[in-house]
């Protein structure tokens, strides 16, 4: 349970270098490093010396070596004074000393145990930044015994005092535990402070009714707040809701407005969705050339779905010249990012020798990889290979197994294949009733082949189909 939580904390710690200092002064009690330390036992302002203070006239007249020696002595005395203040109970100084020992700064040898002890002292005085830093030490086992539960309690103390990152950490801890209502409480705290991640999480919770009563309209409110503040991810999510008409009336114009803004900031998903709009004529006039241009821009930005779209366009000569070899390279890039469509398309290329040398073994490996992640087309294709004995020993029972797995995802071609297997008794005992059931399910999704089989093998099916 706590493994995911700890990974999040580690990335946070490395990104912020502990929430202690900005410039040459110890930060205050807020999570953003601003304001005074009102919660400490000694609330008098304690300003740390700057390493960039100008030399005095007397120092300028001294020889360089003498001046350097004097500055070194001054810094040593400054550090001694700060340490004395920390030992006297000044929380600011305790935070600073903790940071120095944690990072091994100002000629102090890195010592996590001493760092944790200074953070603990500040935390016990009610200093929220100290509470957060001490929680990090407990959660990562830096300087003291690892204790995730104790870490969570200290994160909560800091979170309740407004430390934004602590709020997120507590929320994620509860989310991992499946306590979504508690997670929502802390995500909301972060969102109210303008945190982008907190806003997006609350929007997602309201969209899915996770930890809160389902309300697409409230999700829209959170996405709008983030979008208006320049959060490109929120802008893309808001555009999706306008496209779907979820929480807001469907409005392609507003959808595109937010996509243009996000795409202008270089968001690759927004760029890919503009390409999709050009490809399908949604809110824009169909333009294959523009679609390809936007897809390629997003693909070059590393967006795997766009890489698949570029590969498909190159295969079909849509908006660009046909080039199967280049298509294969784009599918490979997408597959490396664990994009299942990219993996499946690459498998088909190896299967048919399109844009690459035919390799049935490689094709089967890729199909298994995609199928293991629930890709229904890969499952169906594996079923076909076992039914035909292509690259593998013919095994009709194994074929039916794959058809079942794909059909469980309500995939029409697999429903038709499974219905046919029951109808003909291939790899499974004949069962006309089950055959009819699966073929009707496929026909409802528009499978002409399933409709044809129903009309050929089932009485009065023509009338049934006309009323569906």
Give the H or E element holding residue 320.
none
Digit-coded pLDDT (tens) for 333-364: 999 999 999 999 999 999 999 999 999 999 99
Domains of the chain, earliest start first = 1-42+73-193 (1.25.40.10), 266-373 (1.25.40.10), 395-468 (1.25.40.10)
Digit-coded pLDDT (tens) for 293-310: 999 999 999 999 999 999
Say which range, 69-78, 137-146, 264-273, has the weakest mean pLDDT: 69-78
3-class SS string, 245-295:
CCCCCCCHHHHHHHHHHHHHCCCHHHHHHHHHHHHHCCCCCCCHHHHHHHH
Calculate the average pLDDT of the chain: 87
Distance CA 338, CA 87 (A): 53
Assign 106 a pLDDT band (cuts: 50, 70, 90).
confident
Q: What does pTM read for this prediction?
A: 0.79
Assign 438 a pLDDT band (cuts: 50, 70, 90).
very high
Backbone angles phi, psi at 179, to 5 degrees: -95, 75
In sequence order, what are the residues at sequence separation of 6 or more whose Cβ sits closer than 8 angstroms to the Cβ of residue 390? 360, 384
Assign 313 a pLDDT band (cuts: 50, 70, 90).
very high
Distance CA 352, CA 9 (A): 47
Q: Which residues pair with 25 in a beta bridge?
A: 22
Residue 392 has pLDDT above 80, yes or no: yes
Instruction: Determine the pLDDT at residue 30.
Output: 38
């Amino acid at each position: 349970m706590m493994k995911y939580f700890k990974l999040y904390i580690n990335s946070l710690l490395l990104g912020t270098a502990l929430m202690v200092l900005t410039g040459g002064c110890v930060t205050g009690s807020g999570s953003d490093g601003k304001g005074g330390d009102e919660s400490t036992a000694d609330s008098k302002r304690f300003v740390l010396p700057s390493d960039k203070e100008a030399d005095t006239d007397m120092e300028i007249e001294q020889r360089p070596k003498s001046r350097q020696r004097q500055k070194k002595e001054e810094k040593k005395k400054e550090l001694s004074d700060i340490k004395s203040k920390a030992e006297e109970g000044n929380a600011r100084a305790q935070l600073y000393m903790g940071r120095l020992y944690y990072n091994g700064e100002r000629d102090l040898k890195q010592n996590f145990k001493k760092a944790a002890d200074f953070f603990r002292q500040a935390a016990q005085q009610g200093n929220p930044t100290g509470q957060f830093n001490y929680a990090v030490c407990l959660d990562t086992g830096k300087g003291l015994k690892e204790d995730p539960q104790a870490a969570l309690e200290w994160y909560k103390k800091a979170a309740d005092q407004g430390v934004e990152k602590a709020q997120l950490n507590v929320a994620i801890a509860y989310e991992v535990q499946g306590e979504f209502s508690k997670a929502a409480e802390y995500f909301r705290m972060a969102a109210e402070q303008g945190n982008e991640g907190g806003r997006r999480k609350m929007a997602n919770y309201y969209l899915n009714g996770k930890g809160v009563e389902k309300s697409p309209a409230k999700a829209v409110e959170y996405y709008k707040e983030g979008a208006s503040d320049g959060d490109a991810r929120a802008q893309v999510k808001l555009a999706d809701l306008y496209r779907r008409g979820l929480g807001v009336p469907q409005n392609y114009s507003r959808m595109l407005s937010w996509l243009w803004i996000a795409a202008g900031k270089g968001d690759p998903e927004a760029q890919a969705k503009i390409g999709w709009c050009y490809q399908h004529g949604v809110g824009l006039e169909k333009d294959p050339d523009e679609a390809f241009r936007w897809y390629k821009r997003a693909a070059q930005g590393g967006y795997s779905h766009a890489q698949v779209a570029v590969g498909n366009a190159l295969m079909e000569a849509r908006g660009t010249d046909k080039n199967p070899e280049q298509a294969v390279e784009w599918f490979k890039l997408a597959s490396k990012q664990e994009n299942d469509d990219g993996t499946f398309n690459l498998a088909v290329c190896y299967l048919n020798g399109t844009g690459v040398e035919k390799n049935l073994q490689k094709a089967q490996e890729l199909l298994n990889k995609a199928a293991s992640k629930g890709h229904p087309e890969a499952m169906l294709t594996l079923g076909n290979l076992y039914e035909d004995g292509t690259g593998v020993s013919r095994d009709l029972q194994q074929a039916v197994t794959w058809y079942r797995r794909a059909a469980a995802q309500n995939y029409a071609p697999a429903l038709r294949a499974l219905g046919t297997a029951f109808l003909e008794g291939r790899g499974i005992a004949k069962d006309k009733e089950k055959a009819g059931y699966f073929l009707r399910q496929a026909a409802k999704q528009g499978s002409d082949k399933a409709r044809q089989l129903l009309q050929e093998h089932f009485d009065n099916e023509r009338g049934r189909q006309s009323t569906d």
